């Protein structure tokens, strides 16, 4: 992957950091055992050789680095802050000046320090007292880069991390194995990862790096900038919301200005603020993809530094995929249809049955939102391609199929329908999620431009409105349903209230708006996913709110995992948007196998959600595998408890219409599978492949029975088949096709 997308995003999002809450830049600590390369890494990140990086332990006290146009340095000795002249700085850091400081602070005009402050810590394993002090410091860090020796984790580091894990860390932690003595064979990387999984479940990501290699440290610098951007925009959402609420009032006040020049100046200011809001929201939405691309690059660098690596590369290489038995049968049927020797004897009924073999079997991926369905599909692809966030992101079926090129198509709805108000027995309830989605679409310039018309429904009749009128109508709906009174000041009313009140229809000036219909002019979009720019555009198109205008998404990808079946991602079954459940139900009816996802922690805490019974409720005879995701966050005992619980709850019934008398349960970690491999994921994939082969066998048998019988009747010239005086050429041709068909079936 080209890093241009990450770099361009960082440059584009830099100005947004000023919108964050008034606070210091995040403090990222660099920690690890003695001589693991911490000081060398910081020197390369700063692009200055300041920290001593001798073979002997050099750093004996924390040294923090912050940004300043003018270089300055201070040290703390017995509670007193003292300046450090440039001539004394290096000698002090080399511990040659007594008394030894408790800490030192250095301010420099370095690019990375515009994003974060860096802290170099003493090496772990010097003394118990120093280790305890380091742990106390790390618990307050906003992020930790933890370096290991090339040989991996030693006993002292294991004990240190065990003690650190017992206390909750404020920020993130990432682990890096320093391959600064040449390529590694992957053994130490794998063993260290296994040890970390027991200490930090769910946070045991580890990469290989080389602190002496400029390209590796440049990647870490970009990684830290992305992490700093994530830190900075946490408070942007609320700031954007507050700023967004002021724009309608400012726009109205600017329209009252009589003088043209002053009016244009005020209007320009409002437009600039609106642009900031749109840019900020786009940056927030793009961040997960940017981080995913960054992680993919770190994994690629890990593979570069690893010889005979036991780590699977992030993106699986495309291989020549042989035709499935179903595809072979269909190819043969097409030959039969075009063969002139059999033209007068074609049996349309028998041949039509074979058309079901034209497409591969479909594996439906379903379940509540935030159970890791999309991460699972990214793991199938071997890269972060689909948006996977801690919210409902999939709004329509997304089909993944095998192809030699990475391409995608997004088909838009001709008309998208929304229900801003639920009306029942003279009472109106605000449907907040619907209003929020509509508002986000109208406020997004690229989405707004796709809309060619809008209608609102009152008293069962739709009437056309402009997009500006629709925005006003939505504001009026929110005001009438807000907790505040209808006569309250505008700035005291939430534009989209978090909590709303029921309103009697007779108290409204106009009949309630029970429906909104928007017409999307553009039929669909195509993307080349090997192009960074188009990849980002695709990510935006299938992320909320753009995804609400999509009817279906099709992705072609050269992952070998897609060679035996198509995989269909479905919207979360428990989404507040009713259309999501309806779309999932409609998609499930066309599937051959269902993977129903559950969150391991959720099952332990809350049991099995009722929405998981969708197969039973729809009356489908669809085989089901239950997938317990995030299995790495629970113990082996808890994992067995979850599996047993599901079998008891979903397997105790008998009779027709049940999901499965004996549910098959698989525990996986989709996130581990995406980044470094997961045994449970591999086991599930093998079982899915076997089940699909069985389903395909049944389909082929049903489709070919009639064809075999028809070919036999022609080959034998049997008058009972209603065919007399069949030419020898036709009988010979039918016999050849019959033998070829039997050969395909025999391989099954």
Tens digit of pLDDT for each residue in 606-650?
Answer: 677 766 776 676 667 788 899 999 888 888 888 888 888 887 777
Residue-wise pLDDT for 220-238, tens only, equals 998 998 888 877 766 666 6
The pair of three-digit structure tokens given for residue 580, joined into one six-digit string: 């999501």
Q: What's the rounded Cα separation, in Å, for the pair 325 and 332? A: 11
Query: For residue 503, how many other CB atoms are within 10 A of its CB?
Result: 21
pLDDT for 658 beyond 80:
no
> Which of 44-58, 270-284, 462-476 is modeled with the greatest confidence?
462-476
Binned at pLDDT 50, 70 and 90, residue 402 comes out as very high
pLDDT for 488 beyond 60:
no
Q: Cα 106–110–115 angle (5° rounding)?
A: 95
Give the range among 253-257, 509-513, 694-698 with minimum mean pLDDT: 253-257
pLDDT for 311 beyond 60:
no
CA dihedral of 96, 97, 101, 105, whole degrees rounded to 10: -90
H or E segment to which residue 695 belongs: helix 679-716
pLDDT for 317 beyond 50:
no
Percent of the chain with pLDDT over 70: 72
Binned at pLDDT 50, 70 and 90, residue 309 comes out as very low
Going by DSSP bridges, is the β-strand pair 206-209/172-178 parallel, antiparallel, or unpaired? parallel
Burial of 662: CB neighbours in 10 Å, binned 0-12, 13-18, 19+: exposed
pLDDT at residue number 308: 46
Q: What's the rounded Cα separation, in Å, for the pair 711 and 342? A: 10
Average pLDDT, stretch 672-677? 78
Going by DSSP bridges, is the β-strand pair 664-667/421-424 parallel, antiparallel, or unpaired? unpaired
- DSSP code of residue 184: B
The answer to whether 690 touches 652, Cβ cutoff 8 Å, is no
The answer to whether 365 touches 572, Cβ cutoff 8 Å, is no
Average pLDDT, stretch 70-88? 78
pLDDT at residue number 412: 81
List the chain domain ranges.
8-234, 325-356+692-747, 359-414+523-677, 415-520
pLDDT at residue number 393: 57
Instruction: Give the architecture (CATH level 2) of 8-234.
Output: 3-Layer(aba) Sandwich (3.40)
Q: Smallest Cα–Cα separation from 233: which of 270, 273, 279, 168?
A: 279
The pair of three-digit structure tokens given for residue 237, joined into one six-digit string: 């959402």
pLDDT at residue number 69: 87
pLDDT at residue number 555: 93
Percent of the chain with pLDDT over 90: 12
Residue-wise pLDDT for 162-220, tens only, equals 899 888 788 889 999 998 888 887 778 888 888 888 888 766 678 999 998 888 999 99
The pair of three-digit structure tokens given for residue 728, joined into one six-digit string: 């020898």
H or E segment to which residue 627 belongs: strand 624-629
Fold of 359-414+523-677: Rossmann fold (3.40.50)
Residue-wise pLDDT for 98-146, tens only, equals 667 778 888 888 888 888 899 998 888 878 888 888 999 898 899 999 9
């Amino acid at each position: 992957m080209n890093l241009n997308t990450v770099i361009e995003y960082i440059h584009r999002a830099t100005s947004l950091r000023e919108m964050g809450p008034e606070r210091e830049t995040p403090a990222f600590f660099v920690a690890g055992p003695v001589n693991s390369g911490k000081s060398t890494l910081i020197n390369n990140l700063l692009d200055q050789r300041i920290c001593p990086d001798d073979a002997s332990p050099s750093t004996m006290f924390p040294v923090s680095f912050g940004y300043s146009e003018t270089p300055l340095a201070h040290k703390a000795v017995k509670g007193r802050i003292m300046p450090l002249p440039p001539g004394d700085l290096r000698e002090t850091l080399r511990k040659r000046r007594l008394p030894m400081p408790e800490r030192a602070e250095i301010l420099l005009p370095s690019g990375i320090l515009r994003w974060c402050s860096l802290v170099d810590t003493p090496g772990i394993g010097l003394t118990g007292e120093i280790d305890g002090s380091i742990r106390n410091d790390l618990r307050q860090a906003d992020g930790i880069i933890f370096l290991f020796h090339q040989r991996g984790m030693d006993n002292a580091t294991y004990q240190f991390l065990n003690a650190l894990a017992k206390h909750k860390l404020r920020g993130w932690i990432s682990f890096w194995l320093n391959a600064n003595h040449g390529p590694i064979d992957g053994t130490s990387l794998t063993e260290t990862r296994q040890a970390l999984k027991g200490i930090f479940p769910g946070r045991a990501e580890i990469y290989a790096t080389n602190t002496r290699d400029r390209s590796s440290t440049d990647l870490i610098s970009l990684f830290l900038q992305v992490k700093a951007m994530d830190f900075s925009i946490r408070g942007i959402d609320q700031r954007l919301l507050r700023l967004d609420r002021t724009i309608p009032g400012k726009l109205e006040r600017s329209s009252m200005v009589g003088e043209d020049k002053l009016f244009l100046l005020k209007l320009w200011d409002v437009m600039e603020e609106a642009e900031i809001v749109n840019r900020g929201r786009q940056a927030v939405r793009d961040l997960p993809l940017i981080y995913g691309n960054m992680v993919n690059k770190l994994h690629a660098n890990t593979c570069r530094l690893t010889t005979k690596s036991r780590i699977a590369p992030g993106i699986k290489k495309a291989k020549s995929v042989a035709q499935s038995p179903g595809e072979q049968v269909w190819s043969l049927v097409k030959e039969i249809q075009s063969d002139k020797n059999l033209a007068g004897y074609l049996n349309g009924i028998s041949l039509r049955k074979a058309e079901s073999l034209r497409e591969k079997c479909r594996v439906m991926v379903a379940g509540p939102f935030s159970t890791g369905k999309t991460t699972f599909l990214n793991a199938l692809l071997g890269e972060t391609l689909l948006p996977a966030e801690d919210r409902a992101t999939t709004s329509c079926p997304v089909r993944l199929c095998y192809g030699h090129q990475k391409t995608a198509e997004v088909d838009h709805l001709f008309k998208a329908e929304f229900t801003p108000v639920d009306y029942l027995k003279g009472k109106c309830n605000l449907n907040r999620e619907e209003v929020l989605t509509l508002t986000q679409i109208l406020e997004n310039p690229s989405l707004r431009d796709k809309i060619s018309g809008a209608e609102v429904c009152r008293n069962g009749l739709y009437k056309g409105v402009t997009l500006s009128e629709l925005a006003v109508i939505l504001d009026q709906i929110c005001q009438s349903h807000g907790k505040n009174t209808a006569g309250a000041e505008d700035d005291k009313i939430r534009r989209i209230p978090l909590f709303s009140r029921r309103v009697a229809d007779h108290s409204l000036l106009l009949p309630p708006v029970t429906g909104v219909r928007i017409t999307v002019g553009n039929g669909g979009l195509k993307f080349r996913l090997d192009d960074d720019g188009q990849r980002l555009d695709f990510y935006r198109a299938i992320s909320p709110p753009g995804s609400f205008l999509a009817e279906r998404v099709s992705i072609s990808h050269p992952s070998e995992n897609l060679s035996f079946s198509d995989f269909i991602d479905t919207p979360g079954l428990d989404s507040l948007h009713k259309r999501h459940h309806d779309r999932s139900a409609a998609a499930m009816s066309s599937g051959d196998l269902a993977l129903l996802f559950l969150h391991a922690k959720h099952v332990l805490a809350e049991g099995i959600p009722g929405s998981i019974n969708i197969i039973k409720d729809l009356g489908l005879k669809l085989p089901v595998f239950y997938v317990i995701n995030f299995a790495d966050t629970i113990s082996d005992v808890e994992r067995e408890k979850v599996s047993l619980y599901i079998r008891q709850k979903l397997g105790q019934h008998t009779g027709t219409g049940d999901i499965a008398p004996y549910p098959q349960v698989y525990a996986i970690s989709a996130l581990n599978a995406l980044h470094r491999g997961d045994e449970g994921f591999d086991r599930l994939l093998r079982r899915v492949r076997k089940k699909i082969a069985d389903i395909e066998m049944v389909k082929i048998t049903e489709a070919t029975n009639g064809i075999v019988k028809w070919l036999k009747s022609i080959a034998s010239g049997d008058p009972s088949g209603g065919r007399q005086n069949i030419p020898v050429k036709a009988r010979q041709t039918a016999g050849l096709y019959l033998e070829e068909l039997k050969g395909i079936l025999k391989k099954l």
